[in-house]
Structures are given as structure tokens and as C-alpha cells.
Amino acid sequence: MDLIWKALGHDSVIQKVSNILGNDKASRILVEGPPGSGKSWLCKGVGTRWEEEGGVCVVIEGDRDMVERPYYPLCAKPQPLAKTWKYYQDAIIVIGRILDLGVLSGKVFSSVSDRLADHLESNIKQKLPFLDDLECSFIQSLCMLCKNKHPLLIVDNVHWLDKGTLQFLQLLIDNKLTRFSGLGILENLNIIIIRTEEKFQKPIEKQYLEESIYTKFEDKFHIKGVSREKLEDILGLFFNTKNLTDKEFSKIHESCGENLAFVYEVALFVQGGGELTSIKAKDLLDKIVIKKLNNITNTNNLALDTLKCASLLGLSFHVNELFCISNKNESDVKHDLNIAFESGIVEKERNRAKFSHDSFRNLFKNKIGIEKPILYDKLSNCLKKLSPSEYAFRSFVANQAENYTDEAIFTFLEAVRRIRLGINSSEYISGIKKTILDENELLDIYNDVKEAWELINIDQASLAIDVLDKWEPINIIQPLVKSEINYTLSNALLSTRIEADRMRAIDIIKENKLDAMEVEINVRFLILELYSNFLNEDKTIALNNIKEIEYILNRSKAIGSEIKDFLFNIYRMFNGIYTPEISVKFMEKSVLHFSKELGGEVIKPLEYFMSLNNLASVLICLGRYNEAEKHLNSGLNILKHHDGIKFRDLEYLLHNNILCRYKSKKIKPIRAFREQEKIVSNRNCGLSNILLENNLIVYALLSNKYDEAVSIAGKMASRLESINNVEIFIEYLVRQSIILVDFHCKSNSESKNNWIDLIQLVECIPYESRQFYIDRHQELITAFDNISCGDCDSWEKYMEPKLREISRGPLWDEFLKGFLLTEIQYWKLN
């Protein structure tokens, strides 16, 4: 049977591949050639033989139409090759027989037997929390499949992989995961990648492939397709060709080109009694496929319409998407799929299905004709329900539906989504996409929304409001664009810490909750409403917000990870609803969720960064400084890998880092003062700066820098007086700091009375830990009579015995002893 490869001239390639795989070290092999040259058959023949000798082979495939769906090739759960490509199993098994891999299994398995005995955790997600769900699922499945077996990964159509999947592949190529316990088996992962020559099919990520993937593959092989001269020999390997005329051979080659898969289909057709004489060459493959379907059922073309719909969904597709796009009811679609399964045209993959060859998928796609825009329009409506946040893919679908206005809108939404998540949007908005926005009068809006988010992230929310307010009088017809502007504007308004802005944001949110037509946008507004209600004393309002969000998410039919992202975004802000002792548990889950990586990079760096910052703040409240510092250092590490991103609340992370080191006695007050002063000097004079200045005052007092403390307090007081209706806690924070400075620096005899008057304000603080603030404030009244002004250390000494007398847990201990560094819970949008 090795004649098939000898006929094609590939026998030497097969032998070389065999020899390379027989080495003790993991192999990296690249196979290329024109479309249909048998690249996949050759490699999967190797994989089949590999499995027969005790290994396991897994295949992933790129899809040129699905490049806008990130990590699409990883959606299907990995399975052994023997359970996939069932339709072609007989062919590739026969082809694989020529491989003499007996020495391979002996050499390789003996050399890695110790490592293969490593304990493999059943739940890799717990061991590698930084991996994305898709990565975790793939790695876990792969490791479980190859437990006590040697692994081979075949990556077909590598030139059509999106960048995220390529980054993940690079992790595997470079053995980045093998240092983790239970993943030693991946050190022996052999990888074969298959690409089509560039003159036939352009690569999606050419630069990344050439710089980061192809350079790792020293063993490269080129194979050719089926020539007319070799066609007779190859067909003769499958069936008796004596009765075929030269004209019929030419017809076969004309219809199949050099495509080995097509040649195989013709062979099966003739073996099954098919007659070639009356069929035109251009119709041959079409007739063969239709005959396959009709052999299963007596009703002509019963499954044809369903398979045409499926062809729009990719080489591999989720059956829920097919149910949605089809005009038939669900039971009829299932029946059609069963016909396709039995014919071998489509193969079953749990809740997904897959065309057994890209040629079949293309054949049905080419049969769609004038109804193509209508079907894509249906798919567009389906994606609104099933994948609402896949704006890049929705833009592509809108283009195919010839709905160019929607294409521009979804392009805009995808660009803004990337900005919100800290993903570079400039790469996305370039060339044709930039032109699309410009032609639809969305480019200026995009630039302003981008600028607004950048301003919000550097705590310049007031300027962001000015940038966006100019669009309010303009009648923006497109609701989704208007909603995105209003969402950004609401974020800015909720970031100023001014009550009037918060009330304006609440009005905008209520309007857009009603107008938002999409689940993803609607839920984002609901989460904003939740944030806005953190300042309500009645927490049942915020809790009802959470119930509403959970109800919508549970009712949603969306496929993907966006639902989880929404829920963990809520967890991240639970310090606005619960006391730190309770909220810290949820916030730890949020950090774990957003720490996921793909291709070695955090997927959503802004979300992860803010989760780390929020968790550290709560840990500080509980006196868990070492844990807090660890998370803050993780945040600082994120900064190093994302230079182009303006990280929100960066100064607060640096501020908390100083505080942790001071509280754990790693630095002295004068060092803390200098570092804190640098942070404050690099910022604007916005209201939120007060949180940073408050600690600067304390470090100044502890360092005997009384003049500096008086100056800072004066600026804080002036700023407070210039703003009407400021947030209650901000006012309390400023006034207590001024009293503190007056007492220590001016010997103000009125300090105690001013402190007593402040009790009316502290009683209005809206946090769940309000009673701690009230009790702490009252307890400190006596301190004014028992210590001397200018002696900052005496405050701590005075409070130490009281801690032993009335301790109510770590939060109370921190509040009571920390008159000089009051780390009380503050509300801000994150």
C-alpha cells in the first residue's frame, strides 16, 4: 500500500518523518504543500499508526472564515484521532501501514517512562488558575488522554489560526507548561503543523507565524498534489480501474484537480456502482456528495438545506447555532444531522459537529447562492442571543449579510470592547476597518470614546465627561452606538465622587436599561446601576440588582465565557455591599478568574489589575499585609508586560503597596512619605487625590514634617469647599484629617470639640461597616485628653490596651489602632 506515496513521491518524506519521531526528544515537524495534496492524510496516517502503537494523537484545525472568533480551534474537546475523521479512517489507516514506528514506541516510551508516571491532577484548572477556560479544558483533556501514552499534536491549517490560538500553540511548542506538577508529560509532546503554500492561501497572522512559530520547526517537508500522470496508479490502489477510459480519467482529474481527498471520493463513488460517462466534470463532486445523502434516505436532498446553513458556521460548529439559523424545527435539524453523520459528511463532537473535510463544507457553502445574505442575516440575529459580545465575528457576519451599517456598528463595538479590557485596539482599527468607521461617521465617536476611557483610567473623569458631552445634543440614530457612548459617560460620572454626577449617571443608566437591545450591553448597564447603589444605606437595593443580573444571565442562551466574566466583575466589588470579612472571599474568586492567560499573556489585564487592587485594599483592612503586598506585586508585574495600557487606579495600587510595607515595618515613615509624595505630585488635583493625600499627611506627621502636613491639609480643605454635594465619606475623611493636623501641629484646643461634631457625619457613612466607624470615632474622643499634641507615637501607645479590652476581630483592630492611617472602606467605581 506504500505505492500511493511512492506514486506521489512522498515515500521519502514518510520515512524521514518516521525517523524524526523515533528520536528520544520531542519532535517539531512542518509539512506543507498545495491544497488537496494529501498533507492531512499523510500526517493523520502517521497519527493513526502512532495510536496503534500505543500513543495518542489529537488534531486541531484552523478555519479561514472563523478567524474573527478567537480560539475557535480550541472550542471542540480534544479526542483521539481514532474517534475523529471516522469517515476517512479506512483510508488513513491503510496509508499509515507503511510506517515502521515499532522502534519509536520502544525508544521514546522507555526514555520518558519515569516522567509519564508523574501524578496527573484531574482538575488542571485548580493547579493552573492563570490559564483560560479553553486552555484549561484543552490541556486537561490532552493530559488525561495521554496518561501513560505518548502524545502527538497535529495542527492542520496552521496558517488560518487566529493570534490567540497561535500564542497558545507557542506555549506548547516552547514547553512553557512542563514545569508544573502533573504536566511533565507535555515535555514529550510531538507537534506536526500543516500549512498550505502562501501562493494558494494567504496566512492570517503572517508575521507572527514567521517570527514565533515557523522558526521553531527545523524539520520541514514539501509534498505535491496528484498529477494527471499519477492519477491512474493512485486510483488503482483503491479499486480496479480496468473499465475506466482515458477520457474518464481526464474527467476525474479535471473535477478533482490535484486533491487527493476528491480522488478518494471518486474511487468510492465508482466502487459503489456510480457511472461517470453522463456526468460533466464540473458536476462530478456535487453528484457524488448528493448521492451520499440520498443513499441514507429515500427523500432527495433532505439534509441539503441544513448542511448549507451549517457551512456558514465553520468547519466545526455548535449545534445550538445551527438550530437557530435553520428554518426547520429542532427535531428536523437533528434528523438531517443524523443523515449527515451516517453518510460520513459530518462527524459528531458532543454538542458540536464537524465537516469531515473542508472540501465538503466548501461544496455546501458554494451551493448557497442568492440566499446567502438572508442566511447570514439570520445568523446575525442568532449571534445576538448566543454570542452577544463576539462583536468582531458579528461584524464579519453583517458584512456577509450585506448589512454594511451593522458591520460598521459591530466594528465600533469591538474596538471599544478592546479599549475597556485593556487590549490594543489600534491593531484592530487599521486599514479597511478604519475606513469602514470613517465612511459611517463613527471614527470621530470612536476616537472620543477612546480618549474618554484613557482619561477615566488616569483619574481625569471630569475631562472625560467634557469629551463625551458634546455628543449628547447630536441625534445619534444607532441605539447601540448611543448606548456605548452613554455607558462610557456613566462610568466617568460615577468616577468623580460627586453626588450630582452620580445622580445624573443613575438617570442615564435607567434610560439605557430600557433602550439596550442586547444582553451584553444591558447587563453592563445593570452592573453600573449596582455600582451606583453602593452609596445607598439600604443594601437590599444593590442585592436586588444582583438578583436581576443573575436572572438575565441564567436566562441567556449565550455560548462562551462572558457570563462568568459578568459574575466575577460583581464579586470584585462586593466590598461595596458586605463587610471586608465576607467580601474578601468573593474578591479572591474574582482575582482567580481574571488571572487566566492565553498564550502566556493575561487575557483581560485591566480586569485582573483592578481585581488585584480591590482585593489588596480589603486585605489591608483586615491587617493581612503580606497577602496584600503579594497581590499588589502581581499588579506591578502586569504593568511590565502591558506598557501601552493606561491602568485604572494605578496610583492606588502604588499607595497600597507603600502602606503594606510601612505597616509590616519594612520601611520607615520618612521613606513612606517620600514615595507617597512622588505619587501625589504626579497626579492631578482631583477630588479622589484626597485618599492619597490623607496618607501623605500621616507620613508627614510621623516624620515630624509638620509644615508639610499643614500645607496638604489646607489644600484638601480648599478643594472640599469648592465642590458642592461631595460624597459623605470623602467629606469625613478630609475633615478628620484636618482635625488631626490642627491638634498635632497647631495645639488647637478646639480639636476635641470638632471631633465630637464630626460624629453627625460619620453616622451617615453608607457602608456595611458603618458601625465600626461610629464606634471607633467615639472611642477616640477620649484620646484627645490623654495624649500630648505633637506626639504622634502616643496615639498608638494609648490605643494598644484598648485593643485588648474591646477587640472585635481584625477589622476592628485595624480601625481602632489606625487613627494615623485610617484604612476605611471607600466606594469608587472599578
State whether 243 and 197 are in the same domain: no
127 band by pLDDT with thresholds 50, 70 and 90: low
Domains: count for the chain: 4
How much is the pLDDT for 493? Answer: 94
Residue 798 has pLDDT above 80, yes or no: no
Question: Average model confidence (pLDDT) for the chain?
Answer: 80
How much is the pLDDT for 560? Answer: 58
Comparing CA positions, the residue from 654, 592, 597 lying closest to residue 629 is 654
pLDDT tens-digit profile of 145-166? Answer: 877 778 899 999 999 998 888 9
Domain boundary among 335, 353, 382: 382
How much is the pLDDT for 203? Answer: 86
pLDDT tens-digit profile of 504-524? Answer: 999 999 888 654 568 888 888
- The domain of 219 spans 3-225
State whether 396 and 522 are in the same domain: yes
- Length of the chain, please? 830
Comparing CA positions, the residue from 272, 709, 729 lying closest to residue 498 is 729
pLDDT-wise least confident of 216-220, 306-310, 808-812: 808-812
Residue 125 has pLDDT above 80, yes or no: no
By DSSP bridging, strand 151-156 and strand 190-196 are parallel
The answer as to whether 788 is a domain residue is yes
State whether 428 and 281 are in the same domain: no
Residue 103 has pLDDT above 60, yes or no: no
The answer as to whether 675 is a domain residue is no
Domain boundary among 325, 359, 382: 382
108 band by pLDDT with thresholds 50, 70 and 90: very low
pLDDT-wise least confident of 67-81, 83-97, 199-213, 436-450: 83-97
pLDDT-wise least confident of 234-243, 590-599, 659-668, 809-818: 809-818
State whether 221 and 236 are in the same domain: no
What's the rounded mean pLDDT across residues 653-674? Answer: 91
Domain boundary among 178, 199, 225: 225
State whether 636 and 746 are in the same domain: no
Cα angle value 499/501/504 (rounded, 5°) = 115
Q: Please name the residues in contact with 217: beta carbons below 8 A apart, sequence gap of 6 or more.
A: 28, 29, 30, 193
Report which of residues 773 and 135 the model is more confident about. 773
How much is the pLDDT for 112? Answer: 37
The answer as to whether 671 is a domain residue is no
How much is the pLDDT for 409? Answer: 95
The answer as to whether 188 is a domain residue is yes
Q: Give the separation between CA 302 and CA 296, rounded to whole angstroms.
A: 10
State whether 41 and 113 are in the same domain: yes
Report which of residues 558 and 249 the model is more confident about. 249
Residue 93 has pLDDT above 80, yes or no: no
The answer as to whether 519 is a domain residue is yes
Report which of residues 564 and 696 the model is more confident about. 696
Q: Give the separation between CA 23 and CA 18, rounded to whole angstroms.
A: 9
The answer as to whether 668 is a domain residue is no
State whether 10 and 88 are in the same domain: yes
Report which of residues 92 and 223 the model is more confident about. 223
The enclosing H or E element of 190 equals strand 190-196
Residue 117 has pLDDT above 60, yes or no: no
Q: Please name the residues in contact with 246: beta carbons below 8 A apart, sequence gap of 6 or more.
A: none
Q: Please name the residues in contact with 391: beta carbons below 8 A apart, sequence gap of 6 or more.
A: 410, 411, 413, 414, 417
Q: Please, which residues bridge with residue 352 across strands?
A: 318, 349
pLDDT tens-digit profile of 251-302? Answer: 887 777 777 777 777 777 777 777 777 777 677 778 777 777 777 665 556 6
State whether 369 and 482 are in the same domain: no
Q: Give the separation between CA 90 and CA 351, rounded to whole angstroms.
A: 25
How much is the pLDDT for 88? Answer: 57
Q: 156-188 burial string, b = 16+ CB within 10 Å, else e?
A: bbbbbbbbbbbbbbbbbbeeebbeeebbbbbbb
How much is the pLDDT for 137? Answer: 77
pLDDT-wise least confident of 80-94, 171-185, 532-546: 80-94
pLDDT tens-digit profile of 606-647? Answer: 888 889 999 998 898 888 899 999 999 999 888 887 776 778
State whether 139 and 269 are in the same domain: no
What's the rounded mean pLDDT across residues 58-69? Answer: 87
Q: DSSP secondary structure string, 117-138?
A: TS---S-HHHH-TTB-HHHHHH
How much is the pLDDT for 113? Answer: 33
State whether 29 and 172 are in the same domain: yes
Comparing CA positions, the residue from 44, 25, 28 lying closest to residue 88 is 44
How much is the pLDDT for 29? Answer: 94
pLDDT-wise least confident of 85-94, 118-127, 271-280, 314-323: 118-127
What's the rounded mean pLDDT across residues 706-718? Answer: 89
pLDDT tens-digit profile of 553-612? Answer: 777 766 556 667 888 888 888 877 888 888 898 899 889 888 877 656 777 888 888 899
pLDDT-wise least confident of 57-66, 507-516, 537-546, 615-624: 507-516
The answer as to whether 830 is a domain residue is no
How much is the pLDDT for 2? Answer: 52
The answer as to whether 663 is a domain residue is no
State whether 138 and 126 are in the same domain: yes
Report which of residues 296 and 52 the model is more confident about. 52
Q: Give the separation between CA 142 and CA 158, rounded to whole angstroms.
A: 19
**Contact predicate 814/612, CB 8 Å:** no
**Contact predicate 536/727, CB 8 Å:** no
State how far the alpha carbon of 150 is from the alpha carbons of 14, 28, 116, 154, 673, in Å.
Answer: 20, 15, 8, 13, 58
Residue 817 has pLDDT above 80, yes or no: no
State whether 127 and 67 are in the same domain: yes
